Amino acid sequence: MTTPAYSLAIGDRAYSSWSLRGWLLFDAFGIPVQTRIARLYTDELPTLLQDFLPARTVPALRLPNGPAIGESLAIAEELASRHPAAGLWPADPDARAVARMLAAEMHAGFTALRSHCPMNLRVSYADCAPPPAVLDDLDRLGALWAWARAETGATGDWLCGDYSVADAFFAPVASRIATYNLPVGAAAAAYVAAHLAHPSFRRWRAMGMVDGPDQDFYRRDYPRRDWPGPAPLPARAVEGTAAENPACPYSGQPVTHVLELDGRRFGFCNAFCRDKTIADPEAWPKFIAIYRP
For ligand GSH, the closer of residues 109 and 189 by Cβ is 109
Helix residue spans in the chain (DSSP H)? 17-27, 44-49, 72-82, 93-108, 111-116, 132-152, 165-179, 186-197, 199-210, 271-279, 285-291
Taking each helix axis as running N to C, give the angle between helix 93-108 and helix 165-179, from 0 to 180 degrees, rounded to the nearest 10: 40
- In Å, what is the CA distance from 175 to each residue of 68, 92, 160, 170, 253? 28, 28, 19, 9, 34
Closest separation in Å from C-beta 161 to ligand GSH: 24
Q: Which residues bind ligand GSH (CB under 6 A)?
A: 11, 16-19, 40, 45, 57-59, 71-73, 107
CA distance 209 to 200: 14
Task: Tell whether omega for the bond before 4 is within 30 degrees of 0, i.e. cis.
Answer: no
What's the rounded Cα separation, in Å, for the pair 99 and 70?
A: 21
In the complex, the smallest distance separating the C-beta of residue 198 from ligand GSH, rounded to whole angstroms, is 19
The smaller minimum CB distance to ligand GSH, of residues 40 and 278, is found at 40
Which three-class secondary structure state does DSSP give residue 68? strand
Minimum distance of ligand GSH from residue 242's CB (angstroms): 41
- Compute the CA torsion angle 9, 12, 13, 18 (nearest 10 deg): -60
Q: Closer to ligand GSH at the Cβ: 36 or 265?
A: 36
Q: Please identify the residue of the shown chain whose CB is closest to the bound ligand GSH.
A: 57
State the minimum distance, in angstroms, from the CB of residue 22 to ligand GSH: 7
Of residues 38 and 235, the one with the C-beta less far from ligand GSH: 38
Q: Could you tell me the smallest distance in angstroms from the CB atom of residue 266 to ligand GSH? A: 33
Q: How far is the CB of 150 from ligand GSH (least distance, A)?
A: 27
CA 7 to mean position of chain CA atoms: 17
* Cis ω before 59 (30° cut-off from 0): yes
Nearer to ligand GSH, 22 or 90 (CB): 22
Least Å from the CB of residue 111 to ligand GSH: 12
**Smaller CB distance to ligand GSH: residue 16 or 175?**
16
C-beta closer to ligand GSH: residue 207 or 259: 207
Whole-angstrom distance, CA of residue 192 vs CA of residue 171:
8
Q: How far is CA 226 from the centre of its chain?
A: 19
Cα(102)–Cα(109) distance, integer angstroms: 10
Nearest distance from residue 192's CB to ligand GSH, in Å? 20
**Pairwise CA distance, residues 229 & 175, whole Å:** 9
Pick the closer one to ligand GSH by CB: 45 or 166: 45
